Every structure is written in structure tokens, then in C-alpha cells.
Amino acid sequence: MTQLSIRPYADSHVQLLTDAGLPPLLARLLAARGVQNHADTQLELAGLIAPHELRGIDVAAQYLADAIVAGKHMVIIADYDCDGATACAVGLRGLRSMGAHVNFLVPNRFTYGYGLSPEIVELAANHDDFAKPDLLITVDNGMASVAGVARANELGMPVIITDHHLPADVDPDAVAIVNPNQNGCTFPSKNLAGVGVMFYVLIATRAALRTRGYFTDARPAPNLSELLDLVALGTVADVVKLDHNNRILVANGLARMRTGKMCAGINAILQVAGRDISKLSTFDLGFAVGPRLNAAGRLDDMSLGIRCLTTDDAQEAMQLAQELNDMNNERKNIEKQMREDAEVNLSALDVDVQHSICIMHDEFHQGVIGIVAGRLKEKYHRPTLVFAPDGKEFLKGSGRSINGIHLRDVLDWVDKNLPDAIVKFGGHAMAAGLSIVRERFDEFKAVFEQAVLAMSEPEAFVKQIVTDGELAQADFTIANVDAMNRQVWGQGFAPPLFEGHFTVVEQKVLKDAHLKLSLKNHAGVFSAIWFFHTDELPEQIHCAYQLQRNDWNGKSSLQFLVEHVSVQEAL
């Protein structure tokens, strides 16, 4: 079952925003997302929260400044997702622009797993491509790397941790930890992605070097805003909440990219993906660039993605972007087959009886189970775990949850009630990863269902779609769409979604996969498309949709991107 509800807003906040000159519709949309005054709409870089409010950043900056001045060798330990890759690229580009000698190392997820493990420390200390580091820097990881940091200290390689994940019970013994979510940090925004944290560390390091008189006419201070394309990409791709501070970072990164100011790698990926750079949006970053970079970490080695983001050679960038595109196509094919196999397993699922999804298959790919879990969660609106083989004895799983069911706490409940079935687990409310003993899978599946029921309320299983209500006739304008497109929408700052009653004038199926529609209401007849739906609709419907602009043959028109149709609410 799906319920539609309208996002509330305060008329007083709408009035303040319209008095400041915003169009009435945009003022209503922003007020419904917590924007209370005109200052909250300003997205200039000067509005960023000051770096010194991050706990540990001054220590990290001084340590990095010392290392740069002394010519010490640093190695960045990256993560194998898009946030980790962009954070690594920002670190490499930023530190090198200040004269640092720095390399990188990213764990292969299938060989080493996640984070700064003792094995990765050993690899860094004895690497074939670079000398033993004097300093290790983590990006988008490190908060749980107690053993890894301890081993690095034993080998004489102090560690600076830059991360944004929640801390464990014990902090690693690093020389500095920069993380807005660490205990005792009062940084107002807890939503920085890993790439945002690294960007802040660079700002503080440049300030420390400037204070020392390090920069001269022959060695000028770098313009760190040149890294905002990478910061914007990592922030959007990691699906962190777009609070005001993150919207500033993303808006300025997008503004640069729309004028062609971006690294060769992002430019090449956008070309391969066929995107119009002048109209670039968060959608393009999240659904065109991010997946192509993530494909490297899912199927092979994220070193390929990091190389793409750090090269300044346009030809090399294009070659690497094409390799990433090929990997992403392979990932899509693997995902398609996995989803088909999953649907066979779920063909008998009664969503009114079953409150969770827990499946495994011998042919599932470890690098893609998270995506499949997310797809199934969206389709069935149930907390979902998908497992792939991890050797003969174990299964590796990835999970996604729904609002109202804290997945990590559910797994903790299972662990306490089914001892020795879970080897390890971690995560947060909406996503988690785990390993279990293969022969205990059926037991685990049953207890997982019990845990979900024990730790949820019935309303959690009713899918809620929050809209911005109906549009007046005067709201259906290209100018309103353009005003919306100039904003930064994303996680925690949802793109506008409207609803209304329509008459279906025409409908046809495109490519055996999508429904092309002509919909009529009080404002006229509009073209619409409903992706991945082919069932014929009745004449009268109530639907939720995004309002978009369609430019074709020199003409502009409005079109709808349908997200939900409620036949039972039809007129």
C-alpha cells in the first residue's frame, strides 16, 4: 500500500521568501524544506562554516604543513566508492598543489575489505610502486581502524584520519582525527561527505602554510575552489543530506562544471554518458557519473577511477572513462540477471504476510548485492538483505531498510537471539553490511523476520510518498521550472514532487519498458513518461510527478516524470 501526503510549510516563511524576491512557487517549495529566511537561500562560498569548528582540524593541518615543508612522503588510504575516490582525488590534487609528495592506495574490496586494516598497512609499508610512507592519511574511512592504526604506529607511520562515519566504542590512536561525527565535535553540519571533510582539511592546511610564509610569488597558494567539481560529485554520489553547508559546496561545484571548469576525468565521463554540461544537475552527478565510478570499485579496483579523476591528460581521461563505462554496462548486466534471479525467489512473496526480504544465490556478485538490495527494497517496501557466496563457509550480505526500521539495530537483535550465526556486521539505520555462516542461512532468515516484526510498527510497512501538493493553473510555466532547476536538490532536500487528477488522453509503451502518456487537467494537455511501467491505465488517474522542461527542435515545453499513480483515487 502507498499513501500520499503533502509536505507542510509555514505561510510566514513563504511570505519572508517572497518579500525577498523569490517566485511564489519556489518560496513555497523552499519553505517546505526548512528554509526560513533569505539568508538560507544564499549559496556563496563565503557562507561555508569555518574550518576551525571541526575538532582536530588544526592539529591535522599543522601536521600536514610540517610534512610538506620537510618533504616527507605521504600516502592516502582511500575507500572504493565514489565518495572515497573523489576524496582521494581531492587530497592528491590539493596536497600536490601545495608541494607535497603524496601517493595513494585503495583496498580491493574482494581481497582486503574496507578501511585501514593491518594488511593494508603492511602493503603500504612494502609497496612496489612507492617507498615506505612517513605519514598515512585516510579518506572516507578510518574511524573503525583501531588495529590498522596500531600496526601503522608500530611501523613508524603515524596516521591522520579524515572520515564522516559514526565512531566506534574506541577511537583509533591517530595523531589527528577530523570527523564532524566524532565525539566532542561541535561542527554544526554533521552531514559532510568524506570528500567534504578532506576539502576542509586542505583549506586549514593552506592557512597553516600561509601563516608560515610558505607561499611566495614563485610558489603561490593554490586556488582550492578548483576542486569543487570533485567535492560536488562525491557529496551527491554519497547521498548525504544536502543541508545548507553541503548545498553551498554542491552549488558552486555545479556552477563551475556548467562553464566547463572541471577535471579532465569528470568531463570525459560526462561526454561518455552523453550529458549536456551546460545544464548539469545533481541528477547527472548521482545517476550518470557516480555509477560509472562506483562500477570500478564494485567489479574490479577503484584505482582506475582515481586515476581518471587525477589525470590532466584529456586523451587518457577519455580512455579511462570508456573503461569505466564498459564496467558500468557489465555491472548493469550482472544486476539485471541478479534481479531476475531474485524475483524468481520472491515470486511467492506475500507482502501482506512477509515483512522482510532475505535472499541468497550462488551466482550473486558481492560487488552488486547492495544495489540489488536497494532495488528490491524500493519495489516491495520491505527491509531487504541480499547475500552472495564468500568462500565455502560464509555469505557476505548487504542490506537496505525503510523508514521506521533501524537495520543495524535489527541485526544486533538477531545477533543476540541467534548466537554465532553472524560473523560480523555494521552499518546504520538505512543500510548495513554483514557476513554470516552459510549453513545458518535458513535460521538467520527466520530470525531476521522475527527481529523486523519485533522492532517495527505496522505503519512502517505502508509506503509514504510526500508531495508538494497540487499546482495552480498559473504555476505550469517554463519560468517556474527554470527557477527550480537553479536550486540544488537531493538527499534531505528532495526535488519538487507534485500531485493531481488527470485524464489519460493517450498512452503507449516505449521499448517494451516505459509508458508514454498524454495527460489533461485544468491547465492543458501535457506529455508524460512513467519509466519501467507498462500496464495500461484507466481514463482517470491521480498521480505524483516531477515537472520538467523538454527542449526539442528549438522549442521548449513542459513534461511530467511520473513517479506514482493511484487509480483508486481517480475522479
- Quote the cell numbers at residue 111: 581481497
Question: Both 485 and 558 in a single domain?
Answer: yes
Q: Which amino acid is at 70?
A: A
Place of cell 579518506: 139
Question: Both 491 and 554 in a single domain?
Answer: yes
Which residues lie below 8 Å from residue 553, measured CB to CB, with a gap of 6+? none
Question: Both 390 and 419 in a single domain?
Answer: yes
Question: Both 254 and 149 in a single domain?
Answer: yes
Query: Does residue 507 belong to any structural domain of this protein?
Result: yes
Q: What percent of the chain has pLDDT over 90?
A: 88
Query: Does residue 298 belong to any structural domain of this protein?
Result: yes
Q: Which amino acid is at 210?
A: R
Q: Which amino acid is at 491?
A: Q
Question: Both 248 and 278 in a single domain?
Answer: yes
Task: Provide mean pLDDT across the span 85-95.
Answer: 98
Query: Does residue 41 belong to any structural domain of this protein?
Result: no
Domain boundary, last residue among 261, 290, 325: 325
Query: Does residue 225 belong to any structural domain of this protein?
Result: yes
According to the model, what pLDDT value does residue 571 have? 42
Distance CA 436, CA 233 (A): 34
What confidence tier does 552 reach under pLDDT thresholds 50, 70, 90? confident
Distance CA 46, CA 49 (A): 8
Domain boundary, last residue among 461, 494, 515: 461
Is the confidence at residue 570, as pLDDT, over 50?
A: no
105-118 tens-digit pLDDT: 998 877 777 789 99
Task: Provide mean pLDDT across the span 313-331.
Answer: 97
Place of cell 610569488: 217
392-406 tens-digit pLDDT: 999 999 999 999 999
Residue 132 is classified by DSSP as P
Beta bridge partners, 499, equal: 544
Higher pLDDT, 110 or 70: 70
- Quote the cell numbers at residue 269: 565521463
Question: Both 123 and 227 in a single domain?
Answer: yes
Query: Does residue 394 belong to any structural domain of this protein?
Result: yes
Question: Both 100 and 78 in a single domain?
Answer: yes
Q: What is the 3-state secondary structure (H, E, C) of 417-436?
A: HCCCCEEEEEECCCEEEEEE
What confidence tier does 435 reach under pLDDT thresholds 50, 70, 90? very high
Domain that residue 360 falls in: 337-461
Query: Does residue 26 belong to any structural domain of this protein?
Result: no
Q: Which amino acid is at 571?
A: L
CA dihedral sign of residues 364, 370, 373, 378:
negative
**3-state DSSP assignment of residue 552:** strand
Is the confidence at residue 569, as pLDDT, over 50?
A: no
253, 220 Cβ separation under 8 angstroms = no
- Quote the cell numbers at residue 388: 552472495
**Average pLDDT over all residues of the chain:** 94
| Residue 500 exposure: Cα atoms within 13 Å on the Cβ side | 23
Which CATH number belongs to the domain containing residue 358 in this structure?
A: 3.10.310.30
Is the confidence at residue 274, as pLDDT, over 80?
A: yes
According to the model, what pLDDT value does residue 215 have? 97
Question: Both 366 and 264 in a single domain?
Answer: no
- Quote the cell numbers at residue 466: 510526500
According to the model, what pLDDT value does residue 568 have? 52
Question: Both 85 and 200 in a single domain?
Answer: yes
Phi-psi region of 436 (alpha: psi -120 to 50; beta: other; left: phi over 0): beta
According to the model, what pLDDT value does residue 429 have? 86
Q: Please give the tally of structural domains in the chain.
A: 3
**3-state DSSP assignment of residue 569:** coil
Task: Provide mean pLDDT across the span 326-338.
Answer: 95
Which CATH number belongs to the domain containing residue 193 in this structure?
A: 3.90.1640.30
318, 268 Cβ separation under 8 angstroms = yes
Distance CA 505, CA 503 (A): 6
Query: Does residue 115 belong to any structural domain of this protein?
Result: yes
Report angle CA 493, 495, 496 to the nearest 5 degrees: 120
Question: Both 482 and 414 in a single domain?
Answer: no
Task: Provide mean pLDDT across the span 77-90.
Answer: 95
Q: Among candidates 313, 309, 40, which has minimal Cα distance to 198?
A: 309
**3-state DSSP assignment of residue 79:** coil
Is the confidence at residue 123, as pLDDT, over 70?
A: yes
Domain boundary, last residue among 426, 461, 496: 461
339-353 tens-digit pLDDT: 999 988 887 667 668
Q: Among candidates 133, 139, 121, which has minimal Cα distance to 177?
A: 139
Question: Both 447 and 555 in a single domain?
Answer: no
Cα 54–chain centre separation: 22
Place of cell 527557477: 483
Which residues lie below 8 Å from residue 124, measured CB to CB, with a gap of 6+? 75, 77, 105, 132, 133, 136, 152, 157
According to the model, what pLDDT value does residue 325 have? 97
According to the model, what pLDDT value does residue 107 have? 86
Q: What percent of the chain has pLDDT over 70?
A: 99
Question: Both 268 and 151 in a single domain?
Answer: yes
Beta bridge partners, 279, equal: none
| Range list of β-strands (E), 511-554 | 514-521, 524-530, 540-552
Q: Long-range contacts of range 435-440, CB-CB < 8 Å, 24 or more positions apart?
A: 435/390, 435/394, 435/395, 435/396, 435/397, 436/387, 436/394, 436/395, 436/397, 437/393, 437/394, 437/395, 438/389, 438/392, 438/393, 438/394, 438/395, 439/393
418-433 tens-digit pLDDT: 999 999 888 888 888 9
Query: Does residue 452 belong to any structural domain of this protein?
Result: yes
Task: Provide mean pLDDT across the span 26-31.
Answer: 97
Distance CA 59, CA 313 (A): 35
- Quote the cell numbers at residue 178: 577530523
Burial (CB < 10 A; 0-12, 13-18, 19+), residue 39, is exposed
CA-to-CA dists, residue 235 to 7, 250, 345, angstroms? 25, 7, 35
